[in-house]
Structure 1
Amino acid sequence: MARMTLKDRREELIEAAIRVMMRDGVVKTTTRAVVGEAGMTLGVFHYCFDSREHLLDEVITRITDRIGAAARRAFADEADLSSMVVESLRAYWEGVESDPGMHLVGYELAHYALRQAGMEKLARQQYRHYLEVHEELLRESAEKTGAQWTVPVPVLARYLNSVLDGLAMTWLTDHDSEQSREVLALVGEHLVSLSTAQASTKD
Structure 2
Amino acid sequence: MARQSADVRREQLVEAAIRVMIRDGVAKATTRAVVGEAGLPLGAFHYCFRSKQELLHSVIERIMLRSLTFAPASPAHGDDPRDIIRSTLHAYWEGIRARPAEHLVTYELTQYALREPGLADVARRQYRHYLQANIDHLEAIAELAGIHWTVEVPVLARYGLNFLDGLTLNWLIDRDDTQALAALDAYADHLAGVAAPGRPGTPA
**With structure 2 as the length reference, what TM-score do the two structures score?**
0.90
Q: Tell me the CA shift for residue 98 of structure 1.
A: 2.5
**Larger fraction in helix:** 1
Q: Tell me the CA shift for residue 82 of structure 1.
A: 2.3
The equivalent of 2:57 in structure 1 is 57
The equivalent of 1:153 in structure 2 is 153
Q: Tell me the CA shift for residue 74 of structure 1.
A: 4.4
Aligned to 1:148, the other structure's residue is in SS state strand
Does 2:78 match 1:97? Answer: no
Aligned to 1:27, the other structure's residue is in SS state helix
Q: Percent identity?
A: 50
Aligned to 1:196, the other structure's residue is in SS state strand
Q: Identify which of 62, 75, 83 aligns with 1:78.
A: 75
Q: Tell me the CA shift for residue 73 of structure 1.
A: 2.3
The equivalent of 2:37 in structure 1 is 37
- Note the alpha carbon deviations across 1:92-121, whole angstroms, 9 max, x for none: 222222221011011111111111121111
Return 5+ residue gaps in structure 1 as ranges: none
The equivalent of 1:133 in structure 2 is 133
- Note the alpha carbon deviations across 1:127-182, whole angstroms, 9 max, x for none: 00000011011112212332110000001111111111111111111111111111
Q: Count matched residues.
A: 196
**With structure 1 as the length reference, what TM-score do the two structures score?**
0.90
Q: Tell me the CA shift for residue 81 of structure 1.
A: 3.0
Q: Tell me the CA shift for residue 197 of structure 1.
A: 4.0
Aligned to 1:114, the other structure's residue is in SS state helix
Q: Tell me the CA shift for residue 63 of structure 1.
A: 1.2
The equivalent of 1:175 in structure 2 is 175
Does 2:5 match 1:17? Answer: no
Return 5+ residue gaps in structure 2 as ranges: 199-203
The equivalent of 2:187 in structure 1 is 187
Aligned to 2:71, the other structure's residue is in SS state helix
The equivalent of 1:115 in structure 2 is 115
Cα distance in 2, alignment partners of residues 129 and 29 from structure 1: 22
Cα distance in 2, alignment partners of residues 197 and 111 from structure 1: 41
Q: Given residue 60 of structure 2, which amino acid in structure 1 is its aligned partner?
A: I
Cα distance in 2, alignment partners of residues 84 and 40 from structure 1: 46
The equivalent of 2:162 in structure 1 is 162
Cα distance in 2, alignment partners of residues 81 and 33 from structure 1: 48
